[in-house]
Amino acid sequence: MSSPRVLLGVAGGIAAYKSAELLRRLTESGHSVRVLPTAAALEFVGAATFEALSGQPVHTGVFADVPSVQHVRLGHEAELVVVAPATADLLARATHGRADDLLTASLLTARCPVLFAPAMHTEMWEHPATVANVEVLRSRGVVVMDPASGRLTGKDTGPGRLPEPSEIADLARLLLERRDALPRDLEGKRVVVSAGGTREALDPVRYLGNRSSGRQGYALATVAAQRGAQVTLVAGHTADLHDPAAVDVVRVGSALELRDAMHAAAKGADAIVMAAAVADFRPVSLVGHKIKKGAGDPDPLVLTTNPDILVELVGARPAGQVVVGFAAETGDATGDALHHGRAKLARKGCDLLVVNAVGDGKAFEVPDNGGWLLGADGSEKELAIGSKALLASHVWDAVAGRL
Ligand code: C5P
């Protein structure tokens, strides 16, 4: 099987140094990557770095290796073009169909999905010229990510930071799995996603927790934000994940904290997705000091039931708000995972339920996921195993269709 061919365009901004990390991620996931830096990008990172990491030659101009007609061939052969960082200048040249270097010429000949990850100063990102260019590019089906907010080159902060290489790599994989996964159909919508596991404290040092990595919830937040939604991500304990670009992250610890944060964020939201693994039980009381062995402390494992936040959110929802739940199920003597999922959908009362078959290392702490998407209207869609971003894209399709 041949490895997917990716063109990695690198434009001339300080964030060019992060493209080396992105390149590494792409090659490690089995892609054959040809790097197309602009001349300005090579002021920041040497061609040798890109050549060594990609194992392929690096050229900037259209007059290199003329006999192989590179400026046409590379675009033709590509299955995905990723430009990271995409500067204001590169976006402007792409918008106007310029072909003054190998990267822009390849953008004109490529017929595959194209993903731009912008990075520039906030003033440049918000300038009407850039805003108009991004709009034109998006109207042509090009995916232009919303940048992250945070520290820029100097002391300034604001939107314009390059999204993390891991996030760009996840969206690159998503576009290879499904080229129409990132339409801007959630523009003007506000959505809330919960992610990760809750931790129920026993005393100042110990807690009851679970194995949720938060990856599925983070993928839901990433995909919603890049489809144009205003996203609040309520995050419990997760693996070491970066905040997704253009997402407001609210951190919580226990189920009760997650409950408060969800009810606050849910007000006025168009859609809510409960992907968090909420502890079903918590200790009846939190002991104020570290519980000592054999010291006559009360039994720390006397538990009480946590509220079902999803059921509460369904009960409190205003007309038109779409609520989505998740269910990790295994089969048993009474039925398979899908059977239990259908029953759970009815019990929870939500509009959509994602059912993951778990066990045997499936779904938890792994990058891939699959299952079924069940609708309260009786619809059932099988979700083939793929990236968590792919599953997220199917969830947002269903949500967008109901909004
Ligand atoms: O009942 P079960 O835990 O399998 O349901 C899973 C779904 O319910 C998930 O969407 C989860 O986020 C949500 N949930 C909740 N509050 C709880 C337990 C689960 O909102 N206490």
Cβ-based burial of 293 (10 A; exposed 0-12, middle 13-18, buried ≥19): exposed
What confidence tier does 1 reach under pLDDT thresholds 50, 70, 90? very low
User: Strands 271-274 and 207-208: what pairing?
Assistant: unpaired
* Closest C-alpha to 77, from 33, 117, 44: 33
Superfamily of domain 5-178: Flavin prenyltransferase-like (3.40.50.1950)
- Tell me the best of 193, 238, 304, 308 to mutate to test the pocket of ligand 1, counting ligand atoms within 8 Å of each CB and taking the most: 308
Summarize the confidence of residues 115-132 as an average pLDDT. Answer: 97
Cα separation, 140 vs 400, whole angstroms: 20
Ligand 1 within 6 A of CB of 309: yes
Whether 210 is catalytic: yes
Confidence (pLDDT) at 280? 95
Summarize the confidence of residues 228-234 as an average pLDDT. Answer: 98
Distance from residue 327's CA to the centre of ligand 1 (Å)? 7
Confidence (pLDDT) at 363? 59
| pLDDT above 80 (res 362) | no
Distance from residue 324's CA to the centre of ligand 1 (Å)? 11
Rg (CA), the chain: 23
Summarize the confidence of residues 140-157 as an average pLDDT. Answer: 88
Could you write out the DSSP letters of every residue in 81-108?
EEEEEE-HHHHHHHHTT--SSHHHHHHH
Distance from residue 301's CA to the centre of ligand 1 (Å)? 21
Strands in 224-363 per DSSP E = 230-235, 247-251, 271-274, 281-283, 303-305, 322-329, 352-357
Q: For ligand 1, what atom is nearest to the CA of residue 306?
A: 21
Structure tokens at 297: 């402390």
Summarize the confidence of residues 14-30 as an average pLDDT. Answer: 97
Ligand 1 within 6 A of CB of 306: yes
- What residues are paired with 355 via a beta bridge? 327, 372
> Are both 5-178 and 190-402 of the same fold?
yes
Summarize the confidence of residues 63-86 as an average pLDDT. Answer: 93
Q: For ligand 1, what atom is nearest to the CA of residue 280?
A: 21
What value does the mean pLDDT of the chain take?
94
Distance from residue 23's CA to the centre of ligand 1 (Å)? 38
* All structural domains of the chain with their residue ranges: 5-178, 190-402
Handedness of CA 218, 220, 226, 232 (dihedral sign): negative
Summarize the confidence of residues 47-76 as an average pLDDT. Answer: 93
pLDDT tens digit sequence for 253-277: 999 999 999 999 999 999 999 999 9
Distance from residue 81's CA to the centre of ligand 1 (Å)? 39
Could you write out the DSSP letters of every residue in 322-353?
EEEEEEEE--BTTB-HHHHHHHHHHHH--SEE
User: Strands 80-86 and 114-118: what pairing?
Assistant: parallel
| pLDDT above 90 (res 153) | no
pLDDT tens digit sequence for 325-358: 999 888 889 988 899 999 999 999 999 999 988 8
| pLDDT above 80 (res 85) | yes
Ligand 1 within 6 A of CB of 278: yes
pLDDT tens digit sequence for 180-226: 999 999 999 999 999 999 999 999 999 999 999 999 999 999 999 99
| pLDDT above 90 (res 310) | yes
Ligand 1 within 6 A of CB of 325: yes
* 190-402 CATH, one of 3.50.50.60, 1.20.1530.20, 3.40.50.10300, 3.30.420.40: 3.40.50.10300
- Tell me the best of 254, 278, 311, 395 to mutate to test the pocket of ligand 1, counting ligand atoms within 8 Å of each CB and taking the most: 278
User: 235-249, 295-309, 384-398: which has the minimum mean pLDDT?
Assistant: 295-309
The vertex-111 CA angle with 163 and 386, nearest 5°, equals 55
Nearest CA to ligand 1 atom 16: 308
Q: Is 9 helix (H, G, I), strand (E, B) or coil?
A: strand
Ligand 1 within 6 A of CB of 279: no
Distance from residue 43's CA to the centre of ligand 1 (Å)? 51
Nearest CA to ligand 1 atom 8: 310
Summarize the confidence of residues 223-251 as an average pLDDT. Answer: 97
What confidence tier does 20 reach under pLDDT thresholds 50, 70, 90? very high
Options 210, 306, 356, 369, the catalytic residue: 210
